Amino acid sequence: MPQLEEAPNLDIKASLKKPIQWALAAGLLTALYTLFIPNYYRSEARLLPVEAKGVGGNLASLASAAAAFGVNVPGGESNDGNFVDVINSRWLREQLLQTEFRYHLRSWRFGTEQVVNSTLYEYLHASNRDKGVQAIGAILVASRDFKSKVITIGAETTSPELSQLIIQRTQKLLEIFLRDQGRTRGSAKALFAEARLSEARQEMDVAEDALRRFLVRNRNVQVSGDPAVRLMGARLETELRLRQQLVTAIAMNREQALLEEKNDIPILNVLDAGNLPIEKTRPVRSTIVLFASLIVGLGVWIWHNRKWILARLMEESPMS
């Protein structure tokens, strides 16, 4: 049976000399490189759950406030379940792309700040609208806590002001969507009542015209001796009163539906408005430098001591 060659002794101190040198050089080069990576700043806003409508409104209000602090109080269903979907919708992202912002931007870590007037489309350097919509997903994130129902909106860019402006604009666009494009039960009632009111007014005009023409032909209908004339006049007057009462009732229902429509629109309850960030969120330069140094140092050590490592591996798993 062939004898295995024993692994030579390893001088730990000597074996670490070159890897440390390479690690320091790699760390220095990485540190210089990271100076040209711009800082990213994150602005964040939080929205409380919308109050539930109905008898449990007061309890829902207390539940909304308690939910912000992690206390789960049952308060009915919330109407803001689709807020995150609206924020992530193409409509809202396209509106953001077209919005022009004014902010200060620093090109690199030690660069001078410059005042910039540009849209997000220009900031993202997107080649077309579809890629711009996709790129917004990397800087604007919305989520909803399952337990507390609190909605968090975060924006991260290379400018603290731009991050805050994106959050503020997103909240404004969400309000516009809820006010102008959100369809509620009250709005459906109001549309139906408006159409029915128009028809009822036309019918009332027809009844008024019929009574007017009858009175023109029969000016003495009240003192007429012909029962048929008096009966026809009474029928036309009754028909007109019914049409007038119908118009009045529909008009009142329409006003009630308009009030319900406004009441059904969810109101944004802002717990934390978009802040102006001061501390950067990334890059973590010290971690990058340390990781690069460790990788290079370890790689150089393994390469220079590959024979010793191979011999140790052969000793631990000898061939039969």
Segment 251-298, tens digit of pLDDT: 888 887 777 666 666 677 778 888 889 888 888 888 999 999 999 989
Please state, in angstroms and rounded to a whole number, the distance separating the CA atoms of residues 101 and 157. Answer: 13
Phi first, then psi, for residue 141 (nearest 5°) are -130, 135
pLDDT of residue 57: 44
Name the residue ranges covered by the structural domains of the chain. 12-36+284-306, 41-182+267-272, 185-264
| Residues in contact with 100: Cβ distance below 8 Å, sequence separation at least 6, in sequence order | 117, 118, 119
pLDDT of residue 154: 92
The pLDDT-based confidence of 29 (bands split at 50, 70, 90) is very high
pLDDT of residue 50: 67
Mean pLDDT of 183-197: 73
Q: Give percent of the chain above pLDDT 90.
A: 12
C-alpha of 185 from chain center? 23
The pLDDT-based confidence of 178 (bands split at 50, 70, 90) is confident
Average pLDDT, the chain: 79
Q: Return the higher-pLDDT residue of 173 and 4.
A: 173
> Spelled out in words, what is the top-level CATH class assigned to the domain 41-182+267-272?
alpha beta
Please state, in angstroms and rounded to a whole number, the distance separating the CA atoms of residues 171 and 92. Answer: 10
**Range ranked top by mean pLDDT from 89-103, 105-119, 184-198:** 89-103
